[in-house]
Structure 1
C-alpha cells in the first residue's frame, strides 16, 4: 500500500500526525512534514496510514494499493 499527501490540500490541522505518529511528523509551521510526497507504507503502519487519511478533513491524504506516479 502507498500513501500520498497532496501539499495543495493540506491546511495544517495536524490530525494526521496526531493519529499516525510513527508514520508522519509535523514541520515548524504545523503542517505534516511529508506533504507533497508519496511512498510505500510499511506493513506494520498500514493502520496508522488509513487513520491519517480518515482524519484529514481536506482529503489531502490518500492510501492506495498502487503506486502514485511519483512514488
Structure 2
C-alpha cells in the first residue's frame, strides 16, 4: 500500500512496509547546555531548534506505521 507524504514541490509516495525513519545523534550530550557538544565549542541553542521538528516527524512516522530506528 502506497501512502503520500505531503511535501514540496510535490507529494512523495512511499510504502510503509519498506520505509524507515532513522534519527541519529539526538542525545542529550549533543544538544543540552553543559554537554559534550557545547564543550566542543558548539552553540547548542542552534542544534536544539531541530528537536521539535524531529519530534513531529517521529510522531508522523509512527502514525504511518514506519519502522523507527534511533542511534
Instruction: Give the TM-score normalised by structure 1.
Output: 0.32
Higher helix share: 2
More strand per residue: 1 or 2? Answer: 2
Say which structure, 1 or 2, has more relative contact order (CA 8 Å, 6+ apart). 1
| TM-score, structure 2 as length reference | 0.32
